[in-house]
Structure 1
Amino acid sequence: MSEQAGPILDGLGITLDLGDGDLVASAMIVAKVVRADGQVTLLIEDSEGMTWLDQYGLIAAASDLIRSPSFERDDDD
């Protein structure tokens, strides 16, 4: 069954810090999902028109950003 990601992400408290005039050009969601039988799996969904190369680039850039010592996490407050 396929569900819209918006309400799910809203329920998880996910927001984007966008400035005036900022435009989200593409997006990719990586989600840890616990199935009804208790099995844990990983889902990856992306916006329309995104190629595997775009996916790889976003994941690589996000990985570099998260590993950066200057990266501010929400739980660092």
Structure 2
Amino acid sequence: LHVDAAYGAGLLFSDRHRPRLAGLEGADTVALDLHKLGWQPIPAGLLTVSDTDDLAALHHRADYLNADDDTDAGLPD
């Protein structure tokens, strides 16, 4: 189950409104757009996964995206 919480995820930061997202923890993946929370002009999207094996489907090697120092530091591609 995937939840697109691009706009609604900001409720997680509110004690008052967090209950509106009850059940979110049951999702396999959740997308959040942090730049939409504070109306920031710089994209800051996140994809959270409950099982890191699910990220294998997204693996793609591209030299311009995969700097050697990032790989050496153990950062995911």
Provide the TM-score with structure 2 as the length reference.
0.31
Structure with larger RCO (C-alpha < 8 A, sep 6+): 2
